[in-house]
Structure 1
Amino acid sequence: MSDLDLNDKPEGFRRVAALLAEQGHPHAPVYLDVTARTAQEAADALGVQLGQIAKSVIFKRKLDSAPVLVVTSGDLRVDVEKVAALTGPVGRADAEFVKAATGYSIGGVSPVGHLTPPVMLIDRELGRFEEIWAAAGHPNGVFKLTPAQLQAMTGAPMADVTPS
């Protein structure tokens, strides 16, 4: 995708594209013709398994209102108690908080390029897949990577964050 192609794309998508290019990531983000606000929509649009979608779930830490990002496998739910045991108590984050903390709207929250660096955990269950797809800063944007690349890009630990 050239810079000219990016000019008509939303700011969040352009930010992720620039960050991936800066880091030398081998896969440019893809701008889908359909929205992929949910993991199921993304999996359907890409023709991949639901679990291959690295969905970003944002919480608000109760102690200090820090954003807590859990990147989890699309076919699993986040166990809030397990997250709290690792980060301190967390609560729901509303759309306004998510946008202010990350710079992205819900449904397009990328695991990279946040306005405020979040406390971050990566679901170890993503390791079931060689290839995963994450949001690229907009509900129509996604990018391909491996679980190891996600960990290297973010520095976040792999953790047990889903129900047993």
Structure 2
Amino acid sequence: MSENKAPETPPEELPERSRRVAEALQAAGVRPQVRRLEESARTAALAAQALGCEVGAIANSLVFMAGEAPVLVLTSGRHRVATKALAARLDLPRLDRAGPEQVRTATGQAIGGVAPVGHPAPLTTVVDEALADYERIWAAAGTPETVFPTTHAELVRLTKGRSLPVSG
């Protein structure tokens, strides 16, 4: 598949939430290459289609709750999170899918556009080890229409996350 259908978007043309993500990337020493897509990338399949990449190269940002504490899980678009297995790996009693308000409170972003960075406070983060199968992966940049390229190792570093299997 050919990649990079969407050109890099100048920061001044980005929505405020995406500018915050770009600033967080810049502060972490990463050149922010945020791209604004013509169509929504709310799902991994839509993002992969818009970018011309495999669905597995899309890093879905999902928020779960461990009691009152949010946990950000960056999972490959090729599978679902096995919450019971992941909770056991994290030594947590359980993980429950966060509701829209919990997601917005934890990240400052809405479901469908949650970025790995640019949140009001650091989040406990898990990065799906399956994302390491791809040389370049794509993550949301604060809105359903914005994304940025990255790597598995860079996501682990940026989020201070743990690389773990999340699908079973």
Relative to the length of structure 2, the TM-score reads 0.89
Name which of 137, 151, 154 aligns with 1:149.
154
Which one-letter code corresponds to 2:97 in the other structure?
R
Partner Cα distance (1:87, 1:147) in 2: 23
Which one-letter code corresponds to 2:78 in the other structure?
D
Name which of 15, 24, 27 aligns with 2:29.
24
SS of the residue aligned with 1:153? helix
Residue of structure 2 equivalent to 1:74: 77
The reply to whether residue 105 of structure 1 matches residue 93 of structure 2 is: no
Residue of structure 1 equivalent to 2:48: 43
Per-residue CA deviations over 1:19-67 (Å, capped at 9, x if unaligned) read 12222313411111111000011000000000000001111112xx111
Which one-letter code corresponds to 2:121 in the other structure?
T
Unaligned stretches of 5+ in structure 1?
none
Change (3 A) 1:103 1:134: same
Q: How many residues align?
A: 159
Per-residue deviation, 1:6: 3.2
Contact 2:113 2:143 in 1 (8 A): yes
Unaligned stretches of 5+ in structure 2?
1-7
% identity of equivalent residues: 43
Which one-letter code corresponds to 2:81 in the other structure?
V
Relative to the length of structure 1, the TM-score reads 0.91
Contact 1:87 1:119 in 2 (8 A): no
Contact 2:76 2:128 in 1 (8 A): yes
RMSD of aligned Cα (Å):
1.5
Partner Cα distance (2:40, 2:167) in 1: 26
Partner Cα distance (1:138, 1:17) in 2: 12
